[in-house]
Each structure stands twice: as structure tokens, then as C-alpha cells.
Amino acid sequence: VRPPVRIGVHAFVFAAGRSARDYARVAAGARAAGFSLVEVPLLDAVGIAAGVLRRALEAEGLGLTCSAGMTAAADISAEDPAVAAAGEQLLLRAVRLAAALGSPCLTGVLYGPLGAARSPPSRAARARCVDILRRSARTAQVEGVTLGIEPVNRYESSVANTAAQAAALVAEIAEPNVMVHLDAFHMNIEEESMAGAVEDADDLLGYVHVAESHRGYLGTGSADLQGLFDALVATGYEGPIVFEAFTRSRSAGELARPLALWRDVWTSAGDVAVHAERFIAAGLERAGRSPRA
Ligand code: MN
């Protein structure tokens, strides 16, 4: 008997703040909507009370994963070595925080900042980025944390836009605790097909974001989400499947600009979340994988 699919939700669906009240609202909302897992964005991994957050999620019986990202001033893919060094410190801070929270992984756009690219990275900058990811992966391994590489669309990064590029990056890093993380919103822009991208990631695939083309209600946009569910089930994927959605009025201020969140595509967190959990479960069921058992 296979274990239930770990269907999760990005914490910012419910609250982007970092107070104990925000954490309680995230935990209660995720549980009420039927999720078993919450993804906690650490952002620059500063100002998060790990104990308070961990207890809030544990109180609702929820598992937890962590994501993080670079900033303009701390970016491991930067041309300026000092900025890259600051990025390495950010990454190590995030790895330690993920470990303190009991997360099995730290994933996301760990290789660069969102929305800032003007050109592809130079060979030197890319090589340094790979070296830093390799060193960080070794530290993460000691902490029991797997790193995830999430390719994002061309408007958000120039380092990795496709599953094939992410898989190549993981192969270059060449550490066992590094995986590919795919996101349907970005796949919908950059990939030929959902199945093709899942195939490109192959056995490196370890994390999935289910997100619509407009980052709102699942099934109401142009992303081929059933194609993604079919491919995941066909390849025997058993990792986390996490709902990600953003809307302007509920986003952290530092994300609105890089993610271009200019309008509200949804207003009720509870409603968009319940709908998403059912949509993912039904899509997996239709693909032949019973998610609850
Ligand atoms: Mn994502």
C-alpha cells in the first residue's frame, strides 16, 4: 500500500507575515483546506522565529518544506564576487533555518534573484554559481536537507528556464542531495509539454508546484495541469505536490515586483485553497493514482 500523496500549499496563500498570528492563520487555513504540508518561503532567511513557526504547524499535524531565493545584493549568480559571496551566506543561512525547522528540503530559485536578469550569466559567473551550490549542498547534506533547483520563466531569471536546464545544473553540481523542482506556471511558458518536461527532469524530479497560468484558481487558466498529473503518475513520482498561488493584496511586499503581481486574481484564501486541494486530488485520481491511500 502506497502512502498518501503529500499535497501541500504555499504559506503565502494564507498570510505573508511573520508573526505568531500569521503562522497560526497559515496552519489553520492549510489544515481546514485538507492539505498535509505547508511550504514556508524563507525569502532571505532573516527574522523567522523557527520554534514558533514549527510549533504552529505541528499543532495542526502539518508537515513542512522550505523555499528561499536570492536578492539583488546577495546573489550567487552575480558577476560581482562580493555579491555572490553574500548570496552564499544567504543560502547557508537558509539551509540552517530549514534544518532547524525540520524541513527535508530547501527549494526554489536558489540560484539567483527573481526578475532582475538583463542577460545570461557569463561563463565565470555561472561556474561560480555552480561551485557555491555544490559547497552549499555538502553543508545541507550534513544537516539532512536536499536542495531543489526550480527553473523559472525567462522574465524572472536567465540562469535556468527549463527542466532540461535545471537537470543540467543539477548534473554539474554533482551532489546526491540536489533535485529538480518543476512549476506548472513556468512550464506553461517555457516547455513544449508537461510530459516532456517531466521526462527531461527524469529521476532528478523531487518537488512540484501546481500553479495556473495566471497564478489563481486551478483549472481556470491555460496550463495543462491534467497533462502534468498524468505525467507525474505515469513516471511514479511520489514527492510533494504543492499548490502555489499569488494575488497582489496577499503577497509579501518584496515579491510583488519581481513576480509582477499587479492585480488581485483571487480574494478568498480559504476558497482558492479548498478548490486547489480538491482539484489536485481529483487530477491525480483521474491519472490513476489514488491520493488518499
Ligand atoms: Mn514555483
Each residue's pLDDT tens digit in the chain (293 positions)? 788 999 999 999 999 999 999 999 999 999 999 999 999 999 988 989 999 999 999 999 999 999 999 999 999 999 999 999 999 999 999 999 999 999 999 999 999 999 878 899 999 999 999 999 999 999 999 999 999 999 999 999 999 999 999 999 999 999 999 999 999 999 999 999 999 999 999 999 999 999 999 999 999 999 999 999 999 999 999 999 999 999 998 876 778 888 889 999 999 999 999 999 999 999 999 999 999 86
The confidence score (pLDDT) of residue 293 equals 67
276 C-alpha to center of ligand 1: Å?
Answer: 15
Q: Rounded to an integer, what distance in angstroms lies between the CA atom of residue 55 and that of residue 165? A: 37
Using alpha carbons only, give the angle 141, 178, 175 rounded to the nearest 5 degrees: 70
**Which run of H or E residues covers position 256?**
helix 253-256
Enumerate residues 6+ apart whose C-beta is below 8 A from 179: 105, 107, 146, 147, 148, 149, 170, 204, 205, 206, 207
Catalytic pick among 39, 156, 191, 244: 244
Q: Rounded to an integer, what distance in angstroms lies between the CA atom of residue 24 and that of residue 108? A: 24
Q: Rounded to an integer, what distance in angstroms lies between the CA atom of residue 11 and that of residue 16? A: 7
The confidence score (pLDDT) of residue 251 equals 75
160 C-alpha to center of ligand 1: Å?
Answer: 13
Q: Rounded to an integer, what distance in angstroms lies between the CA atom of residue 20 and that of residue 186? A: 32
Enumerate residues 6+ apart whose C-beta is below 8 A from 267: 247, 249
To the query of whether residue 150 is one of the catalytic residues in this protein, the response is yes
108 C-alpha to center of ligand 1: Å?
Answer: 7
The confidence score (pLDDT) of residue 230 equals 98
The confidence score (pLDDT) of residue 254 equals 76
- Helix/strand/coil for 181: strand
